[in-house]
């Protein structure tokens, strides 16, 4: 079935190699054409030219001495008509209450400046503000309210001219070193560079800021004829009998209970004690005295304001909360005390009002009504009193902390402002509302307490505030707060009349 068999061989040729044909060829890009061009920088030359200042020759004006008959006939013809019309205008009520507004109309209250002095010692507060007699410069006193012992701080009196275009908000135009805390400041009513201040150590000092190299003029010193406690406030008061350089007197108040009257003028460069008063606990109604306070104990005076019609009448506020009507003409000498001055001390109080609960921080008489005045205190209330009754005719409780200062508007009879311990500036308008403020502004840095405010008497749109951190803000008020409405003073009259009902 199976057998061996031999077959023929079969050959397969190898195919792993194959002859390849090679052909050479070449390629060429287009010819690149290049051109070389030389460049050269330009030489420049500068030269200054100046035109000559052109001086315009003033045209001389000459009055014509016209005695012609034609001019005489013309004047005789028109004079009766003009005279008749002027008489009508004189008795017309068409422009009653009209006040020319020289400023652009403004609708909002804005902060136009925030001022601080870079070289100020840390921890100093704004203790006082004052505008000068031109309304262009604001003065700031710096000090501290938290002393527990004798003052060793170095403080400053600083001023800024807010009318300058290049005002530096971080550096005062004038900075005067003071050896202790400066607690209050007041510009002279007529001399723009003359300023007074009171220190924590009880000194009353005078400066002339027109002498930048040596502005210091005089000091009351720490003598018997001075204060023994911090000076709370200094005010310039018109003397009805004063003339010339003695037209104004300087009045200072202090925590030692004394109200001192000084003669101070830029011409004499001295300060001299003229008169003195002492506020005693006996002036407080017996039912309002606290604890076992002796009747002959001194009461610290914290605030003072003179009436605008009679500069012999003034109102003071005390550390104990008392509010008193006083007279410069008082002849009631106080009994012998340990206080010895070169002038006899008198009791100025003629009437006591319902007191605040705690220190009174501000008192100001209304510039538009002789019987009304404004107060505020640590009891968080602002009050309007009438001189004719003990109880206030209006009491406000903003619920914004302590009220440290209160001021009437100098141009709107029914407007006043207060600043609070929660850093707010509250502006009230009694025409609009008798309880709620018409404007609430954050006036304190980081909501720190605002201690003082001052309206500008000569620029009605400006108001300044100063806070705990040493910052001063200048506010521009809107037209609603600066333009008086016709018959607005009747609102104050009605408020004052409520005391008689």
Measured distance CA(37)–CA(17) in Å, rounded: 60
Largest CA distance in the chain: 178
| Kind plus residue range of the DSSP H or E element containing 364 | strand 360-365
Three-class DSSP labels, 8-74 = CCCCCCCCCCCCCCCCCCCCCCCCCCCCCCCCCCCCCCCCCCCCCCCCCCCCCCCCCCCCCHHHHHH
Q: Count CA atoms within 13 Å of residue 275 on its CB side.
A: 16
Q: List b or e across 77-98, with b for residues whose CB sees 16 or more CB atoms inside 10 angstroms.
A: eeeeeeeeeeeeeeeeeeeeee
List phi, psi (to 5°) of 268. -80, -25
Confidence of residue 240 (pLDDT cuts 50, 70, 90): confident
Does residue 416 surpass a pLDDT of 70? Answer: yes
Residue 275's Cβ-count burial label (10 Å; 0-12, 13-18, 19+) is middle
pTM: 0.77
List phi, psi (to 5°) of 70. -60, -45
List phi, psi (to 5°) of 86. -65, -35
pLDDT of residue 233: 97
pLDDT of residue 9: 73
Measured distance CA(453)–CA(444) in Å, rounded: 12
Over residues 301-339, the pLDDT tens digits come to 999 999 999 999 999 999 999 999 999 999 888 875 667
Q: List b or e across 292-309, with b for residues whose CB sees 16 or more CB atoms inside 10 angstroms.
A: eeeeeebbbbbbbbbbee
What is the dotted CATH code of the domain comprising 110-500?
2.130.10.10
Measured distance CA(125)–CA(470) in Å, rounded: 5
Domain ranges of the chain: 110-500
pLDDT of residue 329: 92
Over residues 144-165, the pLDDT tens digits come to 998 877 888 889 999 999 999 8
């Amino acid at each position: 079935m199976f057998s061996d068999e031999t077959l023929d061989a079969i050959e397969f040729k190898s195919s792993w190699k194959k002859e390849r044909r090679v052909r050479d060829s070449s390629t060429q890009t287009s010819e690149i054409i290049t051109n070389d061009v030389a460049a050269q920088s330009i030489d420049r030359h500068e030269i200054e030219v100046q035109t000559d200042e052109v001086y315009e020759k003033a045209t001389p004006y000459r009055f014509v001495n016209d005695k012609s008959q034609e001019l005489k006939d013309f004047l005789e013809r028109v004079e009766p008509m003009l005279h008749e019309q002027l008489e009508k205008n004189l008795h017309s009520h068409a422009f009653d209450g009209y006040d020319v507004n020289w400023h652009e109309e403004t609708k909002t209250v804005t902060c136009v400046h925030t001022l601080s002095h870079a070289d100020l010692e840390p921890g100093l507060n704004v203790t006082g503000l004052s505008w000068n007699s031109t309304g262009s410069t604001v003065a700031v006193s710096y000090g501290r309210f938290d002393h527990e012992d004798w003052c060793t701080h170095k403080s400053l009196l600083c001023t800024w001219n807010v009318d300058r275009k290049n005002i530096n908000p971080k550096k005062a135009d004038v900075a005067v070193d003071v050896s202790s805390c400066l607690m209050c400041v007041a510009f002279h009513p007529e001399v723009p560079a003359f300023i007074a201040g009171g220190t924590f150590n009880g000194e009353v000092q005078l400066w002339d800021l027109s002498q930048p190299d040596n502005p210091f003029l005089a000091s009351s010193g720490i003598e018997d004829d001075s204060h023994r406690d911090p000076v709370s406030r200094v005010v310039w008061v018109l003397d009805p009998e004063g003339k010339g350089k003695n037209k104004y007197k300087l009045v200072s108040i202090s925590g030692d209970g004394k109200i001192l009257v000084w003669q101070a003028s830029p011409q004499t460069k001295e300060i001299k004690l003229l008169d003195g008063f002492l506020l005693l606990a006996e002036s407080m109604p017996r039912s309002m005295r606290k604890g076992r306070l002796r009747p002959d104990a001194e009461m610290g005076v914290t605030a003072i304001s003179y009436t605008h019609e009679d500069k012999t009448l003034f109102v003071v506020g005390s550390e104990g909360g008392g509010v008193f009507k006083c007279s410069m003409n008082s002849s009631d000498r106080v009994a012998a005390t340990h206080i010895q001055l070169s002038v006899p001390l008198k009791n100025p109080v003629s009437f006591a009002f319902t007191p605040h609960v705690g220190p009174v921080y501000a008192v100001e008489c209304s510039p538009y009504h002789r019987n009304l005045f404004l107060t505020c205190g640590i009891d968080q209330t602002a009050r309007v009193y009438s001189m004719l009754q003990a109880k206030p005719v209006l009491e406000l409780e903003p619920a914004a902390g302590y009220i440290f200062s209160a001021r009437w508007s100098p141009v709107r009879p029914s407007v006043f402002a207060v600043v609070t311990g929660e850093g707010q500036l509250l502006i009230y308008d009694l025409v609009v509302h008798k309880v709620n403020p018409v404007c609430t502004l954050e006036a304190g840095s980081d909501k720190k307490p605002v201690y003082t405010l001052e309206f500008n008497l000569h620029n009605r749109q400006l108001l300044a505030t100063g806070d705990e951190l040493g910052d001063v803000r200048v506010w521009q008020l809107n037209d609603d707060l600066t333009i008086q409405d016709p018959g607005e003073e009747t609102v104050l009259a009605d408020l004052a009349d409520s005391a008689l009902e």
